[in-house]
Structure 1
Amino acid sequence: MSSRIPGFYRLSSKERFNIVTEGRGLSEDEVKYLSGEHALSMDLADSMIENVIGQIGIPIGIAANFKVNGKDTFIPMATEEPSVIAAASNAAKATYDHGGFFTSISGTIMRGQIQVLDVADPYAARAKIFEHKDEILHHCNEKDPTLVSLGGGAIELEVNIIQTTNHTMLILHLIVDTKDAMGANAVNTMAESVAPIIESITGGRVVLKIISNLADRRLVRARAVFSTEAFGGKEVVENIVSAFEFADFDPYRAATHNKGIMNGISAVVLATGNDTRAVEAGAHAYASVSGHYKSLTKWEINADGNLSGSIELPMAVGIVGGATKTHPVAQASLKIMGINSAEELAGCIAATGLAQNAAGLRALSAEGIQSGHMSLHARNLALMAGAKTSEIDKIVAQAVGEKDLRYDRILEITKAVQRGG
């Protein structure tokens, strides 16, 4: 099915639901959970986290017009922020006829860190660890035979010596291929189980044993060409490039620039039951590896005069384990996308982040961010003012026409509509 559906946003939520779920292999339960007919049971919620008392619903919308590596796909996005999904869809439309998004990933490698203190001779201890490399890796892989059977597992070691203010630390990195899992449980289990062996080899004291969320050997890249005509012309595109340069040099701008990217990325990560905090931490750490916090994207004008964008960042996501398997809505989201591997999911997420950034920069470089954002935000303000669903469109239309989207004005309009004025 093509992801290009004219007037998709004008359809009812039921019509959109039927389009994106038809033929996707969703179970009856997944359909009911995704549509909201079934709420997440308290028993299931209680099995996921501790001290459960309830739950909060986050809307899931669909970003349309996405073509990723030649495949049309609908992108489920879980977010409370208006305009995010519409913006991503519009940006994807501007690149669709240029082939859409093209992605690649460096692998599915994660790092587990083991901190060793009180080592008398750290350089000799480092050498000893490498002498026992096969023993260490074998022990780690015994802890996850399933992962090994799938072609993954601990594959390499790195050892660094760090001199801090108070300590000389030996830091061992377990390099683990986690395949289609995000890998935190597997890596942490390996790191904890091998700690006594590391202490025996080094004569030191192991303290921390934990995965690193700076997944710099699990980088995803996406690129796309966006139509200059669709984006408003040459001047707007030139402004977009200068806005990127601003973000790449100024950390105050880069923080907001990258936040806009994460609007798209985190929404897909959440919809698929993955760890938003891990992905966000990795992204922002990667933006800082040069010692200067920079843009996660790059923007250029290509030889044809169109806007060329690319993104590169760590993407530690999986399609097995954790909430990706236990939450029925996460499973439904993966089926809607037609995802078959963690690498494929990472590519779709990166494409969404690139689209989100393109849309944000276009708005900033043309009419300003508030025009589109606040028009959609006005719907929330109308609800806050007590508007009924049938009254919202009329209220928003009047507020937008007046170019006055303050809450107090929308409250006045709402009261007038309800009085029949």
Structure 2
Amino acid sequence: MSTTSGRPAPGARPRADSRLPKLRDHDPAKRRALVAQAAGLDADALAALDEGEGLRLAQADHMVENVVGLIAIPVGVATNFLVDGVDRLIPMATEEPSVVAAASNAARMARDHGGFRTSSTGDVMMAQVQVLDVVDPEAARLRLLAAKAELLALADAQDPVLAGFGGGARDIDVRVLPTRAGTQVILHLHVDVRDAMGANAVNTMAEAIAPRVAEIAGARTLLRILTNKADRRIARASATFDAELLGGPQVVADIVAASAFAEADPYRAATHNKGIMNGITAVVLATGNDTRAVEAGCHSHAARDGQYRALSRFEQDADGNLSGSLEVPLAVGLVGGATRAHPSAQAAVALLGVETARELAAVIASVGLAQNLAACRALAAEGIQRGHMTLHARTIAASAGAAPDEVAAVAARIVAERRIRVDDAREVLAELRAASTAPTASTASATPTDPAIQEPPS
């Protein structure tokens, strides 16, 4: 049963099995209907994802400045995901071929071993208050810590609604920071933002306490803003991927070796983590969350010990299967911002069936791990180009001018001939069209007055 908003009723979950075999064999409208049914949603709950529906220009005009139009991004649904024992159908907004299929395939390899298991550190975001021109930095630090109760009360007074939901200011810490512009004192305000992303809440609180912070420190404040290094809002995901489904013991060993490479080398880590973000960003975008904030947080976390490293780790377990784990900061929410203002984002959240920001973060981390495993397996087993380019061929065919009913045939030809380029696709398309309009045996013997040979091919 679903509510009038299209979301499942409290306590309800998407279908008991997120495996939707042969979903790709249907057209988009049929897929959407099947996905809505599987998620236990009303038939029209995903209507915002239909062509011409969703965000209207008038709505967009209230979201950002100088609006001149809209840009559409494909939204695919990843299947097979079992996250903390709950099946989830995953909306992913991405323009890159193979991402949705790869995530679905990786999730399938984890199902027989319990799927994805997650944990988190909570919903705490931090704001920073920068204090300059402090005469006695160490003493000022102690004065600010002594005023903790006063500062937290002042911060909480700015958002009684958040406090009513069980959130609010939780702690402060203060650092003395040497910089090239002199010694600065930096106060961190820790705020439990519950199901919000939290930027507005923590920024408002930081602004409110800044005058009192300056007074206590005997100095002046400058920046008062959240940090996107959300390391008090960590989401963790782990899974066991079946060795046989991966391709055997050698593939497992090679993925472990590739993982070790990414842990040790920042050049490899950058591309390794990009694979993770292919999954994470696609879900963040689909749900109307802040992709730039999440990406900044994840990449800063990758460099937390001074060297940029892989965000994930793969190891061989005692049974010979592949054990994967991922730890990332995820500042995402279900209230406020585009998540509530964008109809397509609302539909994506309804499809996911998540009720809290923590559940959403758990799903996103799981997708990131699945996406990463798929990329590592492709690299270790067959090279990244084979599977990726096979799916990319459809985009190439469309770019070459193929009509929707021609894309599959053109893609099949250029893949079979290993000529996956736009110019090759144009050549194949011309050949197929010529063949489809060539005279048949019956028309070959027709008289010159036969309309079949008098009319030029269309």
Maintained 8 Å contact 1:26/1:332: no
CA distance in 2, matches of 1:62, 1:25: 15
Deviation string 1:115-161 (CA, Å, 9 cap, x unpaired) is 00001111111111122111111111010000001110111000000
5+ residue gaps, structure 1: none
2:78 alignment partner, one of 63, 68, 82: 63
1:273 aligns with 2:291: no
Name the amino acid aligned to 1:35: D
Partner residue, 1:349? 364
Q: How many angstroms does 1:345 deviate by?
A: 0.4
CA distance in 1, matches of 2:255, 2:267: 17
1:368 aligns with 2:374: no
Partner residue, 1:250? 265
CA distance in 1, matches of 2:43, 2:87: 22
1:264 aligns with 2:301: no
SS at match of 1:390: coil
Partner residue, 1:112? 127
2:245 alignment partner, one of 223, 230, 239: 230
Alpha-carbon distance change, 27 to 322 in structure 1, aligned in 2, over 3 angstroms: farther
Partner residue, 1:298? 313
Partner residue, 2:97? 82
Partner residue, 2:430? 415
Partner residue, 1:166? 181
Q: How many angstroms does 1:331 deviate by?
A: 1.2
SS at match of 1:291: coil
Name the amino acid aligned to 1:123: E
SS at match of 1:18: helix
Partner residue, 2:419? 404
Alignment of 1:2-401 (within 5 A): 2-22=17-37, 24-25=40-41, 28=44, 31-401=46-416
Moved more, 244-253 or 16-25: 16-25
Name the amino acid aligned to 2:408: D
Deviation string 1:103-126 (CA, Å, 9 cap, x unpaired) is 011110111000000011111111
Maintained 8 Å contact 2:266/2:307: yes
Maintained 8 Å contact 2:33/2:43: no
Name the amino acid aligned to 1:365: A
5+ residue gaps, structure 2: 1-14, 437-458
Maintained 8 Å contact 2:311/2:328: yes
CA distance in 1, matches of 2:153, 2:41: 39
Q: How many angstroms does 1:26 deviate by?
A: 5.4
CA distance in 1, matches of 2:181, 2:42: 56
Moved more, 4-13 or 289-298: 4-13
Moved more, 31-40 or 54-63: 31-40
CA distance in 2, matches of 1:25, 1:384: 35
Q: How many angstroms does 1:166 deviate by?
A: 2.3
CA distance in 2, matches of 1:102, 1:360: 20
Maintained 8 Å contact 1:223/1:310: yes
Q: Which has the larger radius of gyration?
A: 2
CA distance in 2, matches of 1:254, 1:296: 8
Deviation string 1:210-241 (CA, Å, 9 cap, x unpaired) is 10111111100000000111111111111100
CA distance in 2, matches of 1:419, 1:264: 41
Deviation string 1:76-125 (CA, Å, 9 cap, x unpaired) is 00000010000000000111111100001111011100000001111111
Q: How many angstroms does 1:72 deviate by?
A: 0.7
Maintained 8 Å contact 1:24/1:335: no
Q: How many angstroms does 1:27 deviate by?
A: 8.7
Aligned identity (percent) is 52
Maintained 8 Å contact 1:24/1:338: no
Q: How many angstroms does 1:25 deviate by?
A: 4.2
SS at match of 1:207: strand
Normalized against structure 2, the TM-score is what?
0.90
Name the amino acid aligned to 1:178: V
Name the amino acid aligned to 2:319: D
CA distance in 2, matches of 1:284, 1:39: 31
Normalized against structure 1, the TM-score is what?
0.98
Maintained 8 Å contact 2:54/2:342: no
CA distance in 2, matches of 1:365, 1:326: 42
Maintained 8 Å contact 1:288/1:294: yes
CA distance in 1, matches of 2:172, 2:289: 27
Maintained 8 Å contact 2:272/2:372: yes
CA distance in 1, matches of 2:40, 2:85: 19
CA distance in 2, matches of 1:196, 1:24: 51
The two structures, once aligned, show a CA RMSD in angstroms of 1.2
CA distance in 2, matches of 1:245, 1:26: 46
Alpha-carbon distance change, 12 to 256 in structure 1, aligned in 2, over 3 angstroms: same
Q: How many angstroms does 1:391 deviate by?
A: 1.1
Maintained 8 Å contact 2:237/2:327: yes
Name the amino acid aligned to 2:268: R
Name the amino acid aligned to 2:253: E
CA distance in 2, matches of 1:222, 1:40: 32
Maintained 8 Å contact 2:36/2:43: no
Maintained 8 Å contact 2:129/2:224: yes
Alpha-carbon distance change, 213 to 180 in structure 1, aligned in 2, over 3 angstroms: same
Maintained 8 Å contact 2:324/2:369: yes
Q: How many angstroms does 1:31 deviate by?
A: 3.2
